[in-house]
Structure 1
Amino acid sequence: MSVAVGAVPAAAADGPGPTAVAAGVRAPVDQEALRALMVPDEVASGTMVRVSAPGIRWTEATGGLSQDPAASFRIGSVTKLFTSTVVLQLVAEGRFALDTPVQRLLPGILPAHWAPITVGQLLSHTSGIGRPCVAPENPHAPTPAAVVATVTDPACPTPEYPVTRQQYNGINYFLAGMVIEKVTGRSYADEVQRRIARPLGLRHTYLPAPGDTSVPAPSLAAPSEVEPWAWAEGGMVSNAPDLERFLGALLRGRLLPPAQQRELFAMPALSQGARDPMSRAGLLRAELSDGTVVWGKTGSMQPYTNGVFGTSDGRRVLVYSYTGVTRDPELQRSRALDLVAAAF
């Protein structure tokens, strides 16, 4: 997402309906720009946007989405930010290092003939692992090991080595979740609650149990009978206030010691030239036309397409979610860029 897009100031609110308070900030919210992007069209049938900064809070929803600012939704691959945060906390505790081979932590999970893949390569999507080439066992609710087996099957190609590019791949985060469980002896869901959700007071953020297709009321949109099988890669449920609090705390250094905090913003060499460059911790980096740099993550889990972005100091944060009309990745990417540009 490192592209030159127009920077438009914005902001966010807590009650039903649009409100905005601007005091001591560099620019007020441009409600017209945001609302223009929220009109139902060929990309989205309804959109929720929340933007916050010191003295500003603005939120609104269109297209029949819930006007309750605490409405819950599936966050998709935004889940990966929770996973990478837990991994970096474990690194800070000395449980392993970013350059520790996954094969050492998860013996027998990856084929013996594969070159070593490090934990850091998982987080930064520089592992070289390819796309799944076989269907998982029990595809409606596969285990993490079964998902990983879709790329380790003998019919699949060996990962790229040496790795020459950054390639986004959810399998990396299934492996990262497995590392978390192996090292801690507790479930991924429990570690997210113990290390992030409870300390930050994220009362609406959790990983559903296998087979749980529900979204707590109020939900942002009508529930979808989709199996939330994506686990540490994309299976969590949250809401806009919780995501705002989480990303703000992460960017401000409340969840990681200084050494691991630097990983949030460090760009691996292989991110050079990537269309959507990601940091060593798996954060997307987007640079706006006025030089503003924001960090965050996008994600989809039917029926939602979402994103969270913030400035590096965590002082301005955008959360959005829309119910998609199209699955065209180019249209989704364009909408994400436009929302980011309008919010910062």
Structure 2
Amino acid sequence: MATAALATVLTVGDAVPAMAAGAVPAVGTHQHQTLDKAALRAALSGLPDANVSGGLIRMTGRDGRWTDTAGPSVPSPDAHFRIGSITKLFTSTVVLQLAAEQRLSLDDTVQDLLPGLLPSSYRPVTVGQLLSHTSGLQIPLCARKDVPPREWVESALSCGEPTEPGKVTQYNGINYFIAGLIVEQVSGHSYGDEVRTRILRPLNLRDTSVPTLDDWSIPVPYTRGATVQPGSGSDELTDVSVQSPYAWAEGGMISNAPDLSRFLTALYQGRLLPPAQQETLFTLPTGVTGTRQFTYGGLERTVLPNGTTVWGKSGSYPGYTSGVFATRDLRRVLVYSLNPTGRTPELPYVMRIAEAAF
């Protein structure tokens, strides 16, 4: 599950103007032609420390390849970790595939696809608004833990009020819980089965999984998440590697760096989506406000301090912070994962990786 703070770790500055549909963004005038491996190595230097117990970086693409790890929490470059909200990219890809099959439209409403889920007083919310975080639905402060997805959504809607859909970008996990329910309703299969059939098996992503509600395990080898416990008054670390993956279609998946690199590369190459939906993948909503930008395919557009534009997704889970980002032309593809202890924000560590990578 991703908190708002952790979900913004690669977001820099104010929102930038929306691009024309299908346009290929510039990758920045300061980008190196070959990877700066010394800078990448330096980005992991000093780990472990009190704030991050370990990390890994995997770079692929036409500018070169590089992989390294640091710290005792990361046993190997292909270790598994909880990917948090990177899960959303798998969810949005399945939704776009269903749209390509004309089994739904991004203009379909939640009210039509899942009658009775949203209160009758709510304005119509479209599938496209869910994927781009412009639904206006309230932040799920009342969501119950460890309950089936529909119960989770119903509990999340039990407090707070929505705003008008299509006006403001507000990053919100409830959007993707509802998207997962739509996948199940339209396909007639479980969310996990659809992800496995449509993405994991075709791409041979053997180290990526969708845990069930009662499966708290993580495959070995895995990176070890350990955090201080809020409110405990103790600075001691507690191992949180084995924990409930209730975040489901919003943030519950497990993967590793090689699989995530393969997935993002295939997605950008158009191997998972036909041309119309591939264009949608990089299309930003127009006429919305907000400091963050998400496409109708769930990608976040970020402009780094050196002017480089990258697209991708960050994710977090207690003890884990990770991200997948790439230039649109796939010259550079970054996968990173850190094990923050929760003592201080990990933003400086992530920015150091981003600046070295791009």
**TM-score (norm. length: structure 1):** 0.86
Task: Give the aligned residue type for 2:299.
Answer: L
Instruction: For 1:66-85, list aligned pairs within 5 A.
Output: 66-85=74-93
**Alignment deviations for residues 15-48 of structure 1 (CA, whole Å, 9 cap, x no partner):** xxxxxxxxxxx22333235423452345422111
Structure 2 counterpart of 1:336? 350
The verdict on how the C-alpha distance between 1:134 and 1:280 changes in structure 2, with shifts beyond 3 A counting, is: same
For residue 135 of structure 1, report the CA deviation from its aligned partner: 4.4
Q: Distance in 2 between the 1:205 and 1:83 partners?
A: 14
Q: Secondary structure at the match of 1:340?
A: helix
Letter in 2 for 1:92: A
Q: Contact 2:63/2:332 (CA < 8 Å) preserved in 1?
A: no
> What are the Cα deviations for residues 284-321 of structure 1, in whole angstroms up to 9, with x where unaligned?
11123443211110111222111010111233210011
Q: Give the match for residue 38 of structure 2.
A: 31
- Does 2:264 align with 1:247? yes
Quote the Cα distance in structure 2 between the aligned partners of 1:80 and 1:317: 18
Match of 1:107 in 2: 115
For residue 241 of structure 2, what is the aligned residue in structure 1?
224
Contact residue 129 and residue 166 of structure 2 kept, 8 A: no
Cα-to-partner distance string for 1:64-83 (whole Å, 9 max, x where unaligned): 13342221111000000000
State the alpha-carbon separation in 2 of the partners of residues 8 and 323 from structure 1: 29
Farther off after superposition, 117-126 or 247-256:
247-256
Give the superposition deviation at 1:49: 0.8
**Alpha-carbon deviation of 1:275?**
2.7
Q: 2:106 — aligned with what? A: 98
1:65 maps to 2:73: yes
| CA distance in structure 2 between the aligned counterparts of 1:168 and 1:270, rounded to whole angstroms | 17
Taking the aligned partners of 1:307 and 1:271, their CA distance within structure 2 comes to: 25
Q: Please tell me whether the aligned partners of residues 2 and 286 of structure 1 are also in contact (alpha carbons under 8 angstroms).
A: yes
> Are the structure 2 counterparts of residues 38 and 108 from structure 1 closer, same or farther at C-alpha, using a change threshold of 3 Å?
farther
Query: After superposition, what is the alpha-carbon deviation per residue over 1:184-237, rounded to whole angstroms, capped at 9, x for unaligned?
Result: 010000100100010001001111122211111111226623211100000000
Taking a change above 3 Å as real, the CA distance of residues 32 and 312 of structure 1, as seen in their structure-2 partners, is closer
The aligned counterpart of 2:323 is: 307
Could you tell me how far apart the structure 1 residues matched to 2:257 and 2:138 are?
33
Q: CA deviation at 1:159?
A: 1.2
Count of aligned pairs between the two proteins: 320
1:180 aligns with 2:194: no
**Kept in 2: contact 1:84–1:123 (CA 8 A):** yes
Q: 2:285 aligns with which of 261, 268, 271?
A: 268
Q: CA separation in 1, counterparts of 2:50 and 2:295?
A: 31
Q: Which of 135, 139, 151 lines up with 1:146 in the alignment?
A: 151
Change (3 A) 1:38 1:146: farther
> Contact 2:52–2:339 at 8 Å: present in 1 too?
yes
Of the two structures, which has the highest relative contact order with CA contacts closer than 8 Å and spacing of 6 or more? 2
The whole-number CA distance in structure 2 between the counterparts of 1:253 and 1:43 is: 38
Letter of the structure 2 residue corresponding to residue 256 of structure 1: L
Instruction: Report the CA distance shift for 1:64/1:87 in structure 2 as closer, same or farther (over 3 A).
Output: same
How much does 1:343 deviate?
0.4
Call closer, same or farther: CA 1:231–1:38 in 2, change over 3 Å: farther
Write the distance in 2 (CA, Å) between the matches of 1:336 and 1:245. 21
Q: Which runs of 5+ in 1 are unaligned?
A: 11-25
Indicate conservation of the 8 Å contact 2:143/2:153, yes or no: no
- Partner Cα separation in structure 1 for residue 287 and residue 244 of structure 2: 34
Name the counterpart of 2:299. 283
Q: Distance in 1 between matches of 2:279 and 2:35?
A: 30
Tell whether the 8 Å contact from 1:247 to 1:314 is kept in structure 2 after alignment: no
Q: What is the letter of the counterpart of residue 199 of structure 2?
A: I
Q: Identity percentage over the alignment?
A: 48
